[in-house]
Structure 1
Amino acid sequence: MTEHTVRPTPAERTEPRPGDDIVSPADVVMDRGFTVDAPPESVWPWLVQLGKRRAGWYFPRTVERFLPPRRRALRRLDPRWTTLAVGDVIPDYGRDETFEVAAIRPPHTLVYTSRRGHTLVSWSITLRPLDTTRTRVLLRLRLGPVKHRRLADTLGGFFDFATIAGMAAGLRERLEPHVRP
């Protein structure tokens, strides 16, 4: 079983990632990283199907039981949602928020962009194999310009940490039972 954290290593925080050039310079950068017991090829379709009116945003059963059934994420792969192309628009939660696919390189790189008011957002997901059975999932959110940086760093950082921790736990629940002997 993998360690249950979403903290990136110091090297992961400083290394360049796909999509870094979309929001450059960034006023706020949030890095997360976690490990799952599955190869990138098994993790990839689960990440590609993320999104509102798609597979949802993964959380573990302990959290999802408090959500209305229509807000719970899928617990299976759905062929309708396992492909993406540059330019595809994915609904996000909120009123009219969306993500647009800016770059995709299966099964290792997925980069989204979004505009939230005056702020440009990039969200990069990188899958890095650790060995034949484990994958490091690296996520980077870049924002700019940001009027209230301290608020975005603290409150936004807490929200990002909590949602990615929930997603990591939910993804592990969905993946790891399927890859064990």
Structure 2
Amino acid sequence: MANRTVKILASAGLMYAARRYFRDWGTTKDESGGTLPGDELLSPPVLQATEGVTIDAPAELVWPWLVQMGQDRGGLYSFEFMENALGLRYRNADRIHPEWQHLDVGDTVRLVPPGWLGLPRGVVMTVSEIAAPSLIVLRAAPPGLPWEMVWSFHLLPHWEDRCRLLIRSRLGLRHPGEFVLAEIVGPARAFVTRGMLLGIKRRAQGPTT
């Protein structure tokens, strides 16, 4: 019993250390620690992570890729083979689809199909704020999810022909057990987010870069 407890604590410690390392992957201290639109939607205690990437394309060319995100639209541009191995039925787009270029406050973005892991509606987030070509804020809350969650996407111009893409996730926590669980799954979330950032960067920059 003691041996098992030691193994569990060691595993949890390793995952926590990994999460601490990857939590703000690719961002500066100002980017990860600063306030961004959408933060005000959740009050503490909140578990927050911010990741970013520099894209060699102006924000206007990156924006259409963000607008068409969704499990039933353009995908999330991450690791499709892994998403589908989990039964998420993703097909990540490699071009801009005009039919998916409208997104407004109150619209929904589906992340997980209905019925996945017993969730009748899957996972759907609602657009709380949108400002082209710089900002999309998505929000989910009970009863659709067990927790309140905000997922925001920020395009910041960097000279005339480049931009920074920041993805911030904020998870509202109510009980100590939720905090522990969120810490443990943090590295997996960071892995998928990094895949998204690199997938969007590759598509926006085009095949010649």
TM-score (ref. length: structure 2)? 0.74
Q: Is the 8 A contact 2:123 2:145 kept in 1?
A: no
Q: Is residue 111 from structure 1 mapped to residue 137 from structure 2 by the alignment?
A: yes
- Structure 2 residue matching 1:74: 3-state secondary structure: coil
Matched, 1:72 2:101: no
Q: CA RMSD in A?
A: 2.1
Instruction: Spell out the pairing of 1:16-31 with structure 2 (5 A cutoff).
Output: 16-31=35-50
On the 8 A contact 1:121/1:141 being kept in 2, the answer is yes
The answer to whether residue 58 in structure 2 is matched with residue 39 in structure 1 is yes
Contact 1:37 1:179 in 2 (8 A): no
In 2: Cα distance, 1:179 partner to 1:146 partner: 47
Partner of 1:154: 184
SS of 2:41's equivalent in the other structure is coil
- The one-letter code sitting in structure 2 at the alignment partner of 1:111 is V
In 1, the alpha carbon distance for the partners of 2:45 and 2:154 equals 19
Post-superposition offset of 1:146: 4.3
Structure 1 gaps of 5+ residues are none
Q: Which has the greater radius of gyration?
A: 2
Identity over the aligned pairs, expressed in percent? 33
Number of residue pairs the alignment of both structures matches? 171
**Following superposition, which runs of at least 4 residues in structure 1 exceed 3 angstroms of deviation?**
63-68
CA 1:45 to 1:152, structure 2 compared with 1: closer, same or farther past 3 Å?
same
Amino acid aligned to 1:163: V
The correspondence of residues 1-181 of structure 1 with structure 2, limited to 5 A, is 6-59=25-78, 63-64=79-80, 71-93=90-112, 94=116, 95=119, 96-115=122-141, 117-147=145-175, 148-155=178-185, 157-177=186-206
CA gap of 1:126–1:26, structure 2 versus 1, over 3 A, is farther
Report if the CA contact (8 A) 1:38-1:175 is conserved: yes
1:53-91, Cα deviation, whole Å (9 max, x unpaired)? 1111103xxx546758x6320100001111210000111
Measure how far apart 1:165 and its partner are: 1.2
Distance 1:92 1:128 in 2: 24
Task: Give, in whole Å, the separation in 2 of the partners of 1:73 and 1:39.
Answer: 22
Asked if 1 retains the 8 angstrom alpha-carbon contact of 2:71 and 2:91, the reply is: no
Q: Which has a greater percent of helix?
A: 2
CA distance in 2, matches of 1:112, 1:71: 19
Q: Shift in Å at residue 6 of structure 1?
A: 4.1
Task: Identify if the C-alpha distance between structure 1 residues 179 and 48 changes in structure 2 by more than 3 Å, giving closer, same or farther.
Answer: farther
**Aligned equivalents of 2:45 and 2:182: distance in 1?**
12
